[in-house]
Structure 1
Amino acid sequence: MRVKQNPTIETAEAYFNQIFSEQSDFQSKELLMGGALFKLFYFESLVDLNLVQDFILKPLLLRPQDGIRQVVSILDYAETDHWEEAVQALLYGKVVLYQNGESKLYLLGVDLKKERSINIPINERVLRGANEAFIENLDTNINLMRKLINSTEFVVKTYTIGRLSRTKVAVMYIKSAATTAIVTELERRLASIDIDYVEAPGFVDELIREKKFSLFPQLLITERPDRARSYLMEGKVVIGTAGSPDVIIMPVTFWSFLQSPDDYQVSWLIGTFFRLLRICCLFVTIGLPALYVAVSAFNPQLLPINFVNTLQSSLKYVTFPPVLEALSMMFMLEILREATIRLASPVGQTIGVVGGIVIGTVVVQANLVSNTIVIVTALTGLASFVLPSYEMSSAVRLLSYPALLLSALFGLFGLAFFFMMLCIHLCQMTTMGLPYFTPPFSLTDTKDTLFRVPIWRLLKRPIETISSNRTRLRNPRSWKRP
């Protein structure tokens, strides 16, 4: 609704009081300066009163005859003739200044800045690399990214999602590296979200993902600006939201969740070893308890005779069958994990260590489970912690339960059937129209999936990006003499 021609102070005050009559922190101040009547509207909990005093009131008192645009020295300055825009400006922490008789409102940005300082990453600690992490302020996060990417090719587009929360969302990408079709599709999906409020990044993940019921994460979440920059350089898109210290990276493949920033800070041989270790730990997390049940209950002849004798002796006085052993210990591991996360840090560490030792010792001495399943469960838990992505680690831990049940019913055939169905599911998945489980067997793709080849061999961007500019390195070792 537009502001009518030559309205009065009473008209403006009546309009805002009608909307904010129940708000205790909504304030309006009437000022008479140089014969002109002004009215200030603001939320005292959202504005910096010192800025209002220094950059709005004092200049108006000193130069009351000049126009507001010439007097007020604030960069965040706007004018509007719509009441709705003024209401939104008030909710974002701006002061609305109205001069009696004018048909426009002045929106002055003097919002109060309250945010925590930039700290070290908490959930993605690495041995080398930058020690900066995103915070809850979106403008600060964009500032961190712009300091890392000093290029005109770096594009930031902002959107507002949520009917009630009006959450600010930023889409960031490198124009020359990102695929235009992917950026357009992402913007279409974000624009189609119609929801009251957005709790990011979880809400955004579920609202734009393609496979709604898949356990596997389809968007990569990180709190590290340097990691976000590395994916931007590969042609990915980064999504940041106000109120969240994490950003979303897309589109990504299955192999992206097995990569760590540490891989690129050490020798390529060491990085390759760590990456292969993570792949092995993924299979251990999913299949080791199931393999224990299949071998001990169905196919003990596959093991060496000495190992079979040891296994049978440990199971001789155990009360429960192997499948119940494995399920009970895996549930106990999940309980300890959740207790360690939810409690305070010192108490959580104590419960994790003492609880594991006490429970493991007591259940074995009581002949409820065998020594072997305690070792299997401990190895499974340790292997899940090796995976650098919390979302992927949680997914593979849950997948170990159906694998365990199929092994308990059909032995090794059930375990093989489970992995076959898992591969089929991964091959059917897509993210933003791109294959999720891109086979890493071509010469180009395997350089940065199963292995981490030397940096000077990574001449091309990943093929799933489908960028018009796939060249990443040009003559990287030109210093070397022929």
Structure 2
Amino acid sequence: MNPSVSASEQFFYEQFSGQSDFQSKKLLIGGIEYRLFYLDTLIDSSHVQEFILKPLLSKPLNDVREVISILDYEETNQVEEAVQAVVCGKTVLHRDGESKLYLLGADLKKERTINIPSNERILRGANEAFIENLDTNLNLMRKLVPSTELVVKTYSIGRLSKTKVAVMYIKSVADPSFVEELDRRLMSIDSDYTESPGFIDELIRDKKFSLFPQLLITERPDRARAYLMEGKMVIATSGSPDAIILPITFWSFFQSPDDYHISWLLGTFFRLLRLACFLLTIGLPAFYVSVSSFNPQLLPINFVNTLQSSLKYVTFPPLIETIAMMLLLEILREATIRLASPAGQTIGVVGGIVIGTVIVQSNLASNTIVIVAALTGLASFIIPSYEMSSAVRLLSYPAILLSSVFGLLGLAFFFMLIFIYLCQMSTMGQPYFTPPSSLSGIRDTLIRSPIWNLKKRPAGTSPYNQTRLRHPRSWKK
């Protein structure tokens, strides 16, 4: 690099031509010329004044490293690296006659405070959530896991966005083969712009066209810690308040942090309820179409009479009214989410009551399908994962179509296809839908076993350190 400040100034101006927030300040201190390069929209001017200019004015002839008391301090001989540092919010200092540039961290930090989780509300547990600042999120995780075993590896992904990505895992627990595979997949990403979690999810997942989520997304640091302790890995990125957990299994999407803060009997009941709602969300609308059109003999005679009387004056056949009501449910859900909170709640309540009543009174749909649609929506909302809940609701549509053609046989065939598909899926080489065929496999999948009985970690993700609990209830003689 040319040691002249005028040469470096010319290069910076070429790189930042036409950008009004780029600043180049000339300073003459003790007979030595200095140049400061920065973007004034990214730096904190008070920090520059206090920790850069004032020390230089007091000791102009001393070495820069000895004078400036900034922890975020780097040196480089590459002017291209200095340009990238300016873009990232650093201040670049060039001393005339020296070939090196000083990269000084004086960036303006604007971030929202740590708040309660908004999408994963639970009754018990910590009330802290990740925010958009990656350093703050790593700080939360370091405090929750104060151990040298917690490894944090950072990546810069995206040619233009330079998105900072951090991968966390417990060195003595995580499977090294999973860590190496994740590193290979992240390093292979070559794009101009990367956003998390959606971009990273689609770029590293095994099945590109699978409807089922293959990565678990969370905004809770305590939940991320719990999965780290099981041997899994956590991906966090700058600009996103969500973290990605992997490798994950089908059963993890039905687990909630609440399960471990209440009695294990209650935790087991709620977990079984969520799994039942998974089947209910997919099968209930299809079952309605089937018994309305093909198999009414499967129901008690009184129920059949009630069902037939409600369908007597309905304009459309069961297939059309069922799909229409399911789509109406999705429209109301989206309207509730997208609108402001008070207006969204009003739309959800008033829209559901008014539209449902008018549709029934106009004989466009029966009373029964309104009940079926409401139960289907409620059942899907019980599932803790938004991604799994959305996938399950979408699966109900092909089930409805098959039931409209083949009746209950079509519904049974569709469930068989789903379970076959789940059994052949994998994430990071780990089976996605490993059936809990043994007692140890059931303990934290179908049921929530007592804490003192969860002595082993999942065998798939931590083969080298499976011991989680060594002496449970050792106080009891």
Q: TM-score range by the shorter chain?
A: over 0.9
- Determine the C-alpha separation between the residues in 1 that align with 2:208 and 2:427: 11
For the 8 Å contact 2:92–2:102, the answer to whether it is kept is yes
Correspondences of 1:110-121 after superposition (within 5 Å): 110-121=106-117
Distance 2:119 2:318 in 1: 35
Within 1, Cα distance between the matches of 2:164 and 2:412?
A: 47
1:277 partner amino acid: L
Question: TM-score, normalised to structure 1's length?
Answer: 0.98
State the partner residue of 2:267: 271
The offset of 1:441, in angstroms, is 2.3
Matched length:
477
Matched residues in 1 for 2:405 and 2:82: separation?
66
Of 139, 156, 166 in structure 1, the residue corresponding to residue 135 of structure 2 is 139
Residues 1-23 of structure 1 deviation map (CA, whole Å, 9 limit, x = unaligned) = xx13xx21210111101101111
Deviations 1:319-375 (A, max 9, x none): 111111101100110110111111111111001001111111111111111111111
> How many angstroms apart in 2 are the aligned matches of 1:36 and 1:288?
80
| Partner residue in 2 for 1:312 | 308
C-alpha root-mean-square deviation of aligned residues, in Å?
A: 0.7
User: What SS does the corresponding residue of 1:444 show, helix, strand or coil?
Assistant: helix
Which residue pairs with 1:287 in the alignment?
A: 283
Amino acid at match of 1:52: V
Match for residue 380 of structure 1? Answer: 376
Residue 428 (str. 1) matches residue 419 (str. 2): no
Structure 1 residue 211 corresponds to structure 2 residue 207 = yes
- After superposing on structure 2, the runs of 4+ consecutive aligned residues of structure 1 that deviate more than 2 Å are none
Cα pair 2:310 2:367 within 8 Å, conserved: yes
Q: C-alpha distance in 1, partners of 2:433/2:391?
A: 15
SS at match of 1:463: coil
Residue 59 of structure 1 corresponds to which residue in structure 2? 55
The question of 1:235 aligning with 2:227 is answered no
Residue 233 (structure 2) pairs with residue 256 (structure 1): no
Structure 1 SS opposite 2:439? coil
Shift of 1:286: 0.4
* Structure 2 CA distance for aligned equivalents of residues 264 and 170 of structure 1: 27
Inter-partner Cα distance in structure 1 for 2:33 and 2:311: 90
Equivalence for 1:102: 98
Match of 2:463 among 460, 467, 470: 467
Matches of 1:318 and 1:441, distance apart in 2: 47
> What per-residue deviation string (whole Å, max 9, x for no partner) do you get for residues 404-424 of structure 1?
000000001100110011011
Residue pair 2:230, 2:462 contacting (<8 A) in 1 also = no
Return the alpha-carbon distance in structure 1 between the equivalents of residues 460 and 249 of structure 2.
8
CA contact (8 A) 1:258 1:278 kept: yes
CA contact (8 A) 1:445 1:463 kept: no
Q: Quick one: distance in 1 between partners of 2:25 and 2:312?
A: 84
- The 2-side partners of 1:425 and 1:476 are apart by 39
Matched, 1:185 2:144: no
**Residue 88 (structure 2) aligned to one of 92, 103, 119:** 92
CA distance in 2 between partners of 1:101 and 1:320 (Å): 85
Q: Distance in 2 between matches of 1:438 and 1:105?
A: 55
| Residue 452 of structure 1, CA deviation | 0.2
Which of the numbers 296, 300, 303 marks the counterpart of 2:299?
A: 303
Instruction: Give unmatched runs, 5+ long, in structure 2.
Output: none
Aligned match of 1:36 in 25, 32, 35?
A: 32
Of 365, 385, 391, the match for 1:389: 385
- Structure 1: gaps (5+ residues): none
Alpha-carbon offset, residue 144 of structure 1: 0.3
Q: Give yes or no for the alignment of 1:477 onto 2:450.
A: no
Q: TM-score, normalised by structure 2?
A: 0.99
Deviation at 1:467, TM superposition (A): 2.7
